[in-house]
A and B are shown apart, each in its own frame.
Chain A
Amino acid sequence: MAFDYNTLLSAELHDIKNQMQALLNAQEDLNNAIKEAPQFHGFMANVQQHSQLLNHKLLEILSILKIQNQAFTPTEDEHWLLDTLTPIIHEFNHSHGLMITHEVDPDFNGFYDEQLLEIAIHNSFMNAKQVGAIHINVSIEEFPDGHWLINIQDDGPGFQEKQLFESTFTIQGGKSGLGLYLIQQAIQAHKRNDQHGSIHIKNNPDTGACVQLIFP
């Protein structure tokens, strides 16, 4: 029998996921233990930042493996957007020195693949951070025909002219290129009846960039 790398790989990843969960739990314990010792909080924040990033990278690897599989269909289920957003916002506000605000109705729910949206949001925030943005605002728009979108606006330098006119994003062009490519793949996988999701990038009238995640 041919050697099955996929099975082996997914078994390894499964173990890594369990380890990751254990690490996050241990961290939480440590966090509680040093509650009264503020001199350690800085170190702790540092550890948390890295482990959370590692966690996201793990999710990304899993999702990339999934998307490249021909049989992949996203799991579009009903979710409450704020449930997905809050932990990510919380993480970036605490450990990445960003200020992220949102104008999302706590009761807003939609159909999407949660893991894919997490990747898209996380990469959007990461991109903004890397180009020097400090403040990010997340808002949503709903349309009568049922489609809806998420606006992610930052106060960074905005996109370059030539980037704005590219209709597809490639994995070339450094870190933000990879980020946008992933975001696009994650959102495009969404489908309603015959329509697919898409992303749109633009610059804000005054300053900063805006990434729109459009759900069909």
Chain B
Amino acid sequence: MSQLESMLAKKRILAIDDLVESRSAMKKMLVILGADHVDMAMDGDEATEYIFNNNYDLIISDYNLGRGRDGQQILEEARFTRQIKATCTFVMLTGENAMDMVMGAIEYEPDDYITKPFTIDVMRQRLTRILNIKEQLRPINESIDRQERRKVLPLCDALIEKQPRLKIRIERIKGRTLMALKEYKQALSLYQEILKEREINWALLGKATCLFNLDELDAAEKVLNHTIHEHPKYVQCYDLLCKIHLKKKKLKNAQNTLMQAVKVSPKQVLRQMELGRIAYANKDFSVAESAFKMSVKLARHSCYRSVKNYLLFAKSLQHKISPTNTKDSRAGSQEALKAVDEARTLYKDNNDYVCEATIIESTTYSNLGKTADAKAAADKAEILLADINEPSGALQLSMADVFLATKQHAKAQDLLGSLGTRKDLTKAELRELERTKNEISEMVVREYTTEINDQAISFFERGQLSQAIELFDKATTYKEAGHTVLVNAIQAKVTFMDQREPTRSMVNEVDELFSRLGELATTDERYSRWQQLKKAQARLKRSV
């Protein structure tokens, strides 16, 4: 039995390829080489399922898996969610040279690449090599799996001593470990030593990452620009460069950098989301829209699926929705409503999300000019919001926006009033709060209080004083309440106390209303009523 046969026989293997012939050929090849347990998957979804339910020692995946996720994404997700161990060997089959593909994150590199087309000879040779290396690295990888990072470093040093040919591979693990331990200075000098010998791309990125974490932003930026120039497909560099721009508060540069990155690698969900968020903040809505659209599409069956994708996508579409029934507007609103629906279906058990989705639905209808639909959605959202125990500031803010859009200014003001007392708002939310407050029109609130006033008067006229007082109280909480409303409120309360019995608290309330009203001019049509009420109030005061 050859060495490879005995190594493969014990291993649990997963092979991933989208083409049926390639799959069966790969399985045959592996069996000839000595494999015993081989599972086959045809795409990312199936692979993820298998990985979730099994503990594989070796995974061989084609990079290009047709329309769904590619091999690199499967690897990244599996390592990201710790579904596969560090001791598991991952081999990528590629149609191109390794670097023609998009290089993944430093920590999510396959153990080896095999370029297609390959013969069984090539496969034998490469598997023997990589499984042997992996075996030598086993103690190190086992420590990593146990999260014992401090133990990894001496193990690395010992193995370099014993196997100098594996130096680069081991140093790579060492650098990663040092960074995970936040020992950036030590990691930096390791990378610098490596770079003296040869400009290896991951060492360049490692160096830049250390510099970034040591807050040497300009130096980090310089290294990254050089690396991107030499290795334009190394997308991780763009991600870090974007972080630097963000830290320097250069949002436009951050957006441009990520736009370059998604050109190189359009399939990465987290990057698309980040681009969407930054573009949205930059008010570059068409970029935000396409980034979120991609995020929704890519994340649909992945571990990165999140409600935010759907909701942000729907929000980013709003810029092209208008009442003018253009093709753009129609398509945009359809897409937005579809995203909202999908989010509500997928996350139906989460009130926060359903509420946020409904809020966006209302906004979409408002922008379309469909006021009735907008109001209906707003009402639903209002009920949902009332059911949430501790709604976030952001959610309340967007609800306030919807109240404004559906001409419910008074409700908006109520909500903003309670938002103003929250201590947990971010700076951005506070700015948003100010902006929204300024949008509340005094006129509209006054109209609203007048409306309540009219209802109250009808109660008053029918002698239902308690109900009338309740409504007047509501109307007078708005500082915009007009003089008529104030005078009416006073009248209701004074009449109430005359008919029943005066109370100290109500007398005080009336006092306060008087002081809000101030002095009325003798020419005012309400002047005589005001005078009479003042006398009545003085009498009631004496009696309590």
Category for how many chain A residues contact B: 35 or more
Write the chain B residue with the least CB distance to A16: B117
Within 8 A of B (CB), among A1-29: 14, 17-18, 20-22, 24-25, 28-29
Do A28 and B119 contact each other (CB < 8 Å), given the known contacts A146-B197, A146-B198? yes
Q: Is B97 a contact of A75 with CB atoms below 8 Å? A: yes
Q: Find chain A residues with CB under 8 A from B97 CB.
A: 66, 74-75, 113-115
Is A181 on the interface with B (CB-CB < 8 A)?
Answer: no
Q: Is A87 a contact of B116 with CB atoms below 8 Å? A: no
Q: Is B231 a contact of A55 with CB atoms below 8 Å? A: no
Q: Find chain B residues with CB under 8 A from A86 CB.
A: 121, 125
Within 8 A of B (CB), among A29-83: 29, 32, 52, 55, 58, 62, 66, 71, 73-75, 77-78, 80, 82-83
Q: Is B117 a contact of A24 with CB atoms below 8 Å? A: yes
Query: Shortest distance in angstroms between A111's beta carbon and chain B's nearest beta carbon?
Result: 6
Q: Find chain A residues with CB under 8 A from B99 CB.
A: 73, 75, 77
Q: Is A111 a contact of B165 with CB atoms below 8 Å? A: no
Q: Is B165 a contact of A22 with CB atoms below 8 Å? A: no
Is A107 on the interface with B (CB-CB < 8 A)?
Answer: yes
Q: Is A87 a contact of B117 with CB atoms below 8 Å? A: no
Q: Is B116 a contact of A109 with CB atoms below 8 Å? A: no
| Cβ-defined partner of B125 (8 Å) among A83, A108, A111, A192 | A83
Within 8 A of A (CB), among B50-97: 95-97
Q: Is the interface of B mostly helix, strand, loop or mixed?
A: helix
26 contacts between A and B (CB under 8 A): A17-B117, A18-B95, A18-B116, A20-B117, A21-B116, A24-B118, A25-B22, A25-B29, A28-B120, A58-B117, A62-B96, A71-B232, A75-B100, A77-B98, A77-B99, A77-B113, A78-B169, A83-B129, A87-B119, A87-B121, A87-B122, A108-B165, A109-B165, A114-B115, A115-B115, A193-B199
Is B21 on the interface with A (CB-CB < 8 A)?
Answer: yes
Is B180 on the interface with A (CB-CB < 8 A)?
Answer: no
Is B526 on the interface with A (CB-CB < 8 A)?
Answer: no
Q: Is B232 a contact of A21 with CB atoms below 8 Å? A: no
Q: Is B198 a contact of A111 with CB atoms below 8 Å? A: yes
Query: Shortest distance in angstroms between B21's beta carbon and chain A's nearest beta carbon?
Result: 6
Q: Is A80 a contact of B121 with CB atoms below 8 Å? A: no
| Cβ-defined partner of A14 (8 Å) among B32, B95, B230, B231 | B95
Category for how many chain B residues contact A: 35 or more
Q: Is B25 a contact of A22 with CB atoms below 8 Å? A: yes
Write the chain B residue with the least CB distance to A109: B165
Q: How far is the CA of A44 from the CA of B413 in the complex (A)?
A: 86
Q: Find chain B residues with CB under 8 A from A58 CB.
A: 117
Is B126 on the interface with A (CB-CB < 8 A)?
Answer: yes
Q: How far is the CA of A28 from the CA of B21 in the complex (A)?
A: 14
Q: Find chain A residues with CB under 8 A from B25 CB.
A: 21-22, 25
Query: Shortest distance in angstroms between A75's beta carbon and chain B's nearest beta carbon?
Result: 3
Q: Is B19 a contact of A18 with CB atoms below 8 Å? A: yes
Within 8 A of B (CB), among A105-134: 107-109, 111, 113-115
Q: How far is the CA of A154 from the CA of B211 in the complex (A)?
A: 51
Per-position binary interface string of chain A over residues 170-202, scored 1 when its CB falls under 8 Å from any chain B CB and 0 otherwise: 000000000000000000000011000000000
Is B348 on the interface with A (CB-CB < 8 A)?
Answer: no
Query: Shortest distance in angstroms between B135's beta carbon and chain A's nearest beta carbon?
Result: 14
Do A78 and B168 contact each other (CB < 8 Å), given the known contacts A113-B97, A192-B198? yes
Is B226 on the interface with A (CB-CB < 8 A)?
Answer: no
Q: Find chain B residues with CB under 8 A from A111 CB.
A: 198, 200
| Cβ-defined partner of A21 (8 Å) among B113, B118, B198 | B118
Q: Find chain A residues with CB under 8 A from B115 CB.
A: 114-115
Query: Shortest distance in angstroms between B215's beta carbon and chain A's nearest beta carbon?
Result: 28
User: Which 10 A-B pairs rank lowest in CB-CB distance, beginning with the nearest?
Assistant: A75-B99, A21-B117, A25-B25, A87-B121, A20-B117, A75-B97, A87-B122, A107-B165, A83-B125, A86-B125
Q: How far is the CA of A25 from the CA of B115 in the complex (A)?
A: 15
Q: How far is the CA of A114 from the CA of B121 in the complex (A)?
A: 16
Q: How far is the CA of A25 from the CA of B126 in the complex (A)?
A: 17
Q: Find chain A residues with CB under 8 A from B197 CB.
A: 146
Write the chain A residue with the least CB distance to B164: A107
Q: Is A87 a contact of B168 with CB atoms below 8 Å? A: no
Q: How far is the CA of A115 from the CA of B231 in the complex (A)?
A: 18
Query: Shortest distance in angstroms between A149's beta carbon and chain B's nearest beta carbon?
Result: 16
Is B529 on the interface with A (CB-CB < 8 A)?
Answer: no
Is B222 on the interface with A (CB-CB < 8 A)?
Answer: no
Is B539 on the interface with A (CB-CB < 8 A)?
Answer: no
Is B28 on the interface with A (CB-CB < 8 A)?
Answer: yes
Q: How far is the CA of A183 from the CA of B116 in the complex (A)?
A: 21
Query: Shortest distance in angstroms between A17's beta carbon and chain B's nearest beta carbon?
Result: 6
Q: Is B125 a contact of A87 with CB atoms below 8 Å? A: yes
Q: Is B198 a contact of A90 with CB atoms below 8 Å? A: no
Write the chain B residue with the least CB distance to A25: B25
| Cβ-defined partner of B28 (8 Å) among A14, A29, A82 | A29
Query: Shortest distance in angstroms between B62's beta carbon and chain A's nearest beta carbon?
Result: 10
Write the chain B residue with the least CB distance to A114: B115
Q: Find chain A residues with CB under 8 A from B200 CB.
A: 111
Q: Find chain B residues with CB under 8 A from A71 CB.
A: 232
Q: How far is the CA of A71 from the CA of B233 in the complex (A)?
A: 11
Q: Find chain B residues with CB under 8 A from A28 CB.
A: 28-29, 119-120
